[in-house]
């Protein structure tokens, strides 16, 4: 694994999905809150918010530490199922973030390679990808395809491999500290977006190379991260 090296040629991009391209973080928060209440597990909502985007398994590990509870495997499976159900009930309220569709179109026009890498499952990701009109040629890596989700680097490493680009030549774009921690472990530079509800300083502290408000803000500043018209 080399150090980040983004000189010269066009960079490639590895995008997180929830909170980065689609406005779905708060629906995930509400779905987890309902699932936890139904299982009789008390947890403040801000603590749920701070865990969105990390692997579901690590979420449950953190949950056990923060509540002091020990959850048996049946309860863990029930929580995961309830979250998926309650999120599905809210999926109709999820919209692309401002500029997300335009960002992907502009990268395509500039012949910039990109992939999408999400800690969510394929069944959760599919409706979001449809909203974004992601071309079928774009590699999509979901939780189902790797051993470990964020903040492990597996999802982003798999994305880079599918693009046939070294991770050191990629920007990882994400809204959560888990994306940025995973980016560092993958040897890629991380770009933070505020659209998942984290503050700018938190993303910087997690290693963000640059922070933008949302995809619309990034697409307006693409030259800052070395994207140039292809021709």
- 183: tokens are 């980016």
Distance CA 56, CA 99 (A): 28
> Does 123 engage in binding with a copy of itself (CB under 8 A)?
no
Q: Which residues contact 44 (CB under 8 A, 6 or more apart)?
A: none
Q: Considering beta carbons, is residue 5 or 93 the nearer one to a copy of itself?
A: 93
- Site of tokens 């936890």: 36
Q: If binding is defined by CB under 8 A, does position 61 make contact with a copy of itself?
A: no
Bridge partners of residue 170, in order along the sequence: 12
- Contact status: 89 vs a copy of itself (CB under 8 A): no
Q: Is 97 among the residues that bind a copy of itself (CB under 8 A)?
A: yes
Among 1, 37, 77, 230, binds a copy of itself (CB under 8 A): 37
> How many residues make up the chain in this entry?
231
Cα separation, 189 vs 2, in Å, equals 12
Question: Which of 93, 109, 123, 126 is the binder for a copy of itself (CB under 8 A)?
Answer: 93
109: contact with a copy of itself by CB under 8 A: no
Which residue, among 35, 47, 46, has the nearest Cα to 90 in the 3D structure?
35
Q: Which two tokens stand for residue 130?
A: 């449809």
- Residue 41 found at the interface with a copy of itself (CB under 8 A): no
By CB under 8 A, name the one of 12, 14, 17, 25 that touches a copy of itself: 25
Query: CB of 37: closest distance to a copy of itself in angstroms?
Result: 7
- Alpha carbon separation from 220 to 21, 98, 128, 134 (Å, rounded): 15, 12, 23, 20
Residue 156's closest CA among 15, 46, 8, 11?
15
Between 5 and 44, CB nearer to a copy of itself: 44
Contact positions with a copy of itself (CB under 8 A) in 177-206: 194-202, 205
Binder among 16, 18, 23, 179 for a copy of itself (CB under 8 A): 23
Q: With contacts defined by CB under 8 A, name the span among 8-16, 43-51, 106-114, 122-130 that binds a copy of itself.
A: 43-51
Cα(184)–Cα(16) distance, integer angstroms: 14
Give the residue among 29, 32, 2, 6 at the shortest CA–CA distance from 18.
29
- Taking residues 210 to 229 in sequence order and writing x for each that binds a copy of itself by CB under 8 A, - otherwise, the string is ----x---------------
Interface residues toward a copy of itself, by CB under 8 A: 19, 23, 25-26, 29-30, 33, 37, 42, 44-46, 49, 93, 95, 97-98, 194-202, 205, 214
């Amino acid at each position: 694994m080399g150090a980040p090296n983004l000189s010269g040629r066009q960079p490639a991009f590895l995008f997180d999905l929830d909170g980065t391209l689609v406005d779905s973080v708060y629906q995930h928060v509400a779905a987890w809150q309902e699932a936890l209440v139904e299982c009789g597990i008390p947890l403040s909502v801000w603590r749920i918010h701070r865990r969105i985007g990390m692997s579901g398994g690590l979420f449950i590990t953190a949950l056990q530490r923060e509540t002091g509870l020990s959850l048996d495997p049946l309860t863990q499976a029930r929580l995961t199922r309830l979250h998926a159900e309650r999120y599905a009930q809210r999926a109709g309220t999820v919209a692309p973030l401002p500029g997300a569709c335009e960002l992907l179109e502009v990268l395509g026009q500039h012949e910039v390679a990109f992939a999408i890498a999400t800690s969510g499952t394929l069944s959760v990701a599919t409706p979001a990808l449809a909203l974004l009109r992601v071309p079928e040629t774009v590699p999509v890596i979901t939780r189902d395809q790797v051993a470990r989700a964020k903040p492990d680097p597996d999802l982003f490493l798999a994305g880079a491999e599918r693009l046939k680009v070294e991770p050191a030549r990629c920007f990882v774009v994400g809204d959560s500290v888990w994306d940025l921690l995973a980016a560092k472990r993958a040897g890629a530079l991380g770009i933070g977006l505020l659209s998942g509800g984290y503050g700018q300083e938190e993303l910087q502290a997690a290693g963000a190379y640059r922070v933008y408000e949302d995809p619309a803000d990034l697409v307006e500043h693409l030259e800052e991260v070395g994207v140039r018209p292809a021709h």
